[in-house]
Structure 1
Amino acid sequence: MLHLRTGRVLELTALGGATRTARFQPEPDGTWTGLDGHYAGEPLRVVRRADGTVDHLDQAGFVCTRTPYDPAAEVPGGVDAQGRQAD
């Protein structure tokens, strides 16, 4: 889930809330920079379609979408059939 917090800080959390969260501060160029944890100093940017609507978020190279990956689509590194495993 994506939350806008005080000071325009973005916070990304898992739907279940059981995994790590990531907080990002806004930058003048429209991107955000990670504040803490695994993403400290890492960029977050909005990727838009040709018509200007949001396609996905690029979180330091990780693609965040509202829908799961299409199983037929090419995904760099492949997709684990069991889903993401805990660290």
Structure 2
Amino acid sequence: MRRQGRALVPPAVGAGRASRFRPEGPDTWIGLDGYYAGETLTVGRTADGTANHLNLATFIFSRTPYDPAAPIPGGLDENGWR
């Protein structure tokens, strides 16, 4: 949701963390309050410019859980989970 040039990110379900963000530049927002106060939110894009994930303080949010097109902070161990 956007109000007065700012974004409000409510929890998808229930009473989780809600935060407000102000635009800082193209595809960049700064958290104003709560858990994400002062944190940077950026829009991740594919090579053709399509938005495919959000990076919020190293938390990656995508429409598809474990989206192979979204980055994974720290990468994956090629040997898998142990």
Q: CA RMSD in A?
A: 2.4
Q: Residues 60 and 75 (structure 1 numbering): CA distance in 2 closer, same or farther, change over 3 Å?
A: closer
Mapped pair 1:37 → 2:46? no
| Unpaired stretches in structure 1, ≥5 consecutive residues | 79-87
Q: What is residue 25 of structure 1 aligned with on the other side?
A: 22
| Unpaired stretches in structure 2, ≥5 consecutive residues | 77-82
Percent identical: 47
Task: Give structure 1 regions of 4+ aligned residues with deviation exceeding 6 angstroms.
Answer: none
Return the offset for 1:48.
Answer: 0.3
Relative contact order (C-alpha < 8 Å, sep 6+): which is higher? 2
Q: Deviations over 1:29-70 (max 9, x none)?
A: 221100001111110010100010001010111101112125
Determine the C-alpha separation between the residues in 1 that align with 2:73 and 2:39: 21
TM-score normalised by length of structure 2: 0.73
Mapped pair 1:62 → 2:59? yes
Determine the C-alpha separation between the residues in 2 that align with 1:37 and 1:57: 18
Determine the C-alpha separation between the residues in 2 that align with 1:24 and 1:53: 21
